[in-house]
Structure 1
Amino acid sequence: MRRSFTFLLRPTSKQAVALAQCVEDHRQMYNAALEHRRTAYRKAGVTVRYGDQSAELKHIRADDPDGHGRWSFSSQQATLRRLDKTFAAFFSRVKASRAPGFPRFKGRGWFDTVQWPKDGDGCRWDSQPEHPSARFVRLQGIGHVRVHQHRPVR
């Protein structure tokens, strides 16, 4: 069984700006990937899947090291998987003859989550020697962010 926990982050003002930029970059990537899928199917009848977009991600990161290149590769893949799950749910609703609800572009207020799928791949639970009782999480591109940890993590 997979478990997930939600913890409250206590970022500094500088880290809050970086976190907001991280969410914004992931939102733009989600919308661009959605546009890529729509355009490819509309213009050429080609179905673009997660594997195709994930392979292109390497080149996107290389061309933009200060933008998308500073965030975790696995978190960006998780955003592409999120889009893929959205399309899978759409096609399952079409198959079941229900109201399909085609995937939509996400506005600023509708995309507020970034996932880091695995500890050690862009994020790491950490404690600081100067703060032995406090808990921190190190996020790639953001730094050590203080966390209100209300339960232990295995």
Structure 2
Amino acid sequence: MNIVPSVHRRVTSRLYPSVTQAAALERMCGLHRALYNAALEERISAYRKAGLSLSFADQCKSLTQIRHEHLEYLALNAQSAQVTLKRLDKAFAAFFRRVKAGQTPGFPRFKGRDRFPGFGFKTHGDGFSFRPGDTGERWR
């Protein structure tokens, strides 16, 4: 029996958005960055106040509440918002892995406009990375 390994391809497409589309993409990227920073703050506060460690699943549950209370987050695809939360979860996993290995840990940081690389989607092939302020030459 031969087992064929799955192949993952990365497809790069160049975008040429209109001014209106670029502004909408900037707003979406800003919402993803705000979500990342709020989730980081939530994890820090939960640990400081109650000694609780929040998981990705916990924060996905609170994402539903956030989307109901803050209507601007309804503009985001729910799965792409989960990818943003997963990015934070991976940052914490890498932090704790480095602590355990005795390396310089590097606690996850809040992201400013120029330090947030973009947003993604769960399914392979239906997402892209948007970098605010780009002219379109380096979009992937």
Instruction: Name the residue aligned to 1:144.
Output: none
Displacement, 1:64? 2.0
Per the TM alignment, residue 118 of structure 1 is displaced from its structure 2 partner at its CA by 1.7
TM-score by length of 2: 0.81
Question: Take 1:112 and 1:28, find their aligned partners in 2: how far apart are those partners?
Answer: 13
Answer yes or no: is 1:100 the counterpart of 2:97: no
- Deviation track 1:38-96 (CA, whole Å, cap 9, x = no partner) reads 0100111000110000011111111122x111110000000000000000000000010
Q: Which residue of structure 2 aligns with residue 22 of structure 1?
A: 28
Structure 2 partner of 1:35: 41
More strand as a share of residues: 1
Q: Does 1:115 align with 2:120?
A: yes
Identity, in percent, stands at: 46
1:8-66 CA-partner distances (Å, limit 9, x unpaired): 2111100000000000000000000000000100111000110000011111111122x
Aligned to 2:4: none
8 Å contact 2:33–2:111 — kept in the other structure?
A: yes
Structure holding more helix per residue: 2
Q: 2:18 aligns with which of 7, 12, 23?
A: 12
SS in 2 for 1:90: helix
List per-residue Cα deviations over 1:81-138 (Å, max 9, x = no partner).
Answer: 0000000000000010000000000011000311012269xx58xxxxxxxxxxxx9x
Give the alignment partner of residue 93 of structure 2, picking from 88, 94, 110: 88
Aligned residues of 2:28 and 2:75 also touching (Cα < 8 A): no
- Please tell me whether residue 71 in structure 1 is matched to residue 107 in structure 2: no
Are 2:65 and 1:52 equivalent residues in the alignment?
A: no
Is there any run of 5+ residues in structure 1 with no aligned partner, and where?
125-136, 138-146, 148-154
Aligned residues: 124
With normalisation by structure 1, the TM-score equals 0.74
Distance 2:52 2:60 in 1: 16
